[in-house]
Amino acid sequence: MCFNAGMQTLSSFIGRRVALPGFAQPVFVADFADEAARDEPTQVVLIHGLGGAHVNWLALGPRLRGRARSMAVDLSGHGRTPWLGTSTIERQVELVTALVQKEARGPVVLVGNSMGGLIALRVAAARPDLVSSLLLLSPLIPQPPFTPMDRDTARMLLPGLPLLGPWLYRRRLKKLGPTGVVEWLLSLIAVDPSCIDAAVKQAHRELASERATLPWAIPAFVQAVRSCLWAALRAGAYFGALADLRVPTHILHGERDRIVPLSAAQWVHARRPDWTLEVLSGKGHVPMLEAPDLVCQRILERLPTTA
């Protein structure tokens, strides 16, 4: 089933810049609250993946509007948030923690895709008082030993190589252009990119063109790639950091995910049988773009019944 929201996706949020303690510049958030809920505390925080931004949630946000107070954050060096000194996973965890503390008056549902899933896990592990539930969409998790990597996924991660990484990324941008990179990435992360609404795809293209003018965009992305690779390759440290996590955790994983294969989600579920694993038949790495109705339903199921 294809999602078709038209231009309502682009008028369904208010962009805000939020100053956070410990960060030199404000972070950008897309606030999906309707007018009546603008003064209500945040209930749902949406965390994008590597190289992503608030536009990744434009198929989902209109569905939450009026039903839950939600916001999508642009992480350090991503989207419209400047590179705040570092774009490592550790710093992003601090950013999301600070945002939740400022914007919510009670525990929130954290929804994270890919790298954002790992960030959500670590926020919940460190500050379970801030998180009522986790919904992870094809999260970044270590792969079982000897799992072959998809060829195009390996190409996407090439900017993380020492010394050559930034040069390789600039070469890709020069060859494809910012909008061409968007089209290539959508073909990698979604099983059927034609089912993503045209307005949502256009928002991705426009933001990519905007970011191409920023001097820190490439080094921020390169550093984020390296941080993700380091986290994914150290399975012992990955699971050790989450050993005491007791926040209810639900994973929605695409059956045909090429970035983080389903075998990785099954492996982590075997180690954490208290987490729920739900496999999305025929879907890829971005359930919020490929199955926004289902993701919305799972989010609403995790809200307090009094909300």
Q: What is the CATH number of the domain that holds 14?
A: 3.40.50.1820
Question: How does 266-294 read in b/e, with b if 16+ C-beta sit within 10 Å?
Answer: ebbbeebeebebeebeebbbbbbbbbbee
Residue 306 forms part of a structural domain: no
Q: Which pLDDT does position 146 carry in this prediction?
A: 81
Residue 1 forms part of a structural domain: no
Mind listing the pLDDT tens digit for each residue in 6-16?
Answer: 444 556 789 99
Q: Which pLDDT does position 101 carry in this prediction?
A: 96
Mean pLDDT of the chain: 91
- How many distinct structural domains can be found in the chain? 1
Q: Which domain holds residue 169?
A: 6-301
Residue 219 forms part of a structural domain: yes
Relative orientation angle of helices 115-126 and 217-233, to the nearest 10 degrees: 70
Residue 307 forms part of a structural domain: no
Residue 73 forms part of a structural domain: yes
- The answer to whether 163 and 156 are in contact (CB under 8 A) is no
Residue 137 forms part of a structural domain: yes
Confidence of residue 307 (pLDDT cuts 50, 70, 90): very low
Mind listing the pLDDT tens digit for each residue in 105-149?
Answer: 889 999 999 999 999 999 999 999 999 999 999 999 998 888 888
* C-alpha dihedral sign at 115, 7, 2, 134: positive
- Tell me the HSE value of 208 on the side-chain side, using a 13 A CA sphere: 21
Residue 270 forms part of a structural domain: yes
